[in-house]
Amino acid sequence: MNWLAIVGGVVVSLSVLCLGLVGGAWWVLTLWEREMYLAGYLNSLFYLTVWAGGIIAGYRAKSLPWRHGAIAGCCYAILLQLVGWLLAPTWMNGQPAVKPVIICLLMGALAGVVGQNLRKASKRRRRYKALRVQKF
């Protein structure tokens, strides 16, 4: 198990989340409407960050990319659940707490496979470029 790939996936997820939150804050402050519904934006940002982290974890993994992506997605979801609990310490019960973790686990596994395929494609591309030699 390549823990560096998993940590890299979680770090990429957190950095994409920070960039998305800054972009969302800029969007909200420039529109300046009385009531804005941001739940859809925040949910899509959450799942986009899981997808990005899973791709990076799968790209860096030597074998079993689905497992690395799934663990990265699960760690990221648990980390955000923990931060949410620290900000509002209420009892998290059952489905509302477990559902995002399971979705992130499955989404991270799929993204890990995509990341491994991107890695193999980039290796093929580099090998193909090395075979093409320019003649002067």
Find, among 101, 8, 97, 122, the residue nearest to 54 by Cα: 8
Whether 87 maps to a domain, the answer reads yes
What's the pTM? 0.85
Number of domains observed in the structure of the chain? 1
**pLDDT greater than 80 at residue 36:** no
pLDDT tens sequence across 38-60: 888 889 999 999 999 999 999 99
Query: What's the CA gap between 15 and 52, in Å, rounded?
Result: 10
Which residues form the domain of 22? 3-26+37-122
Rounded CA separation 44/50 (Å): 10
Is residue 79 assigned to a domain? yes
In a domain, 132, yes or no: no
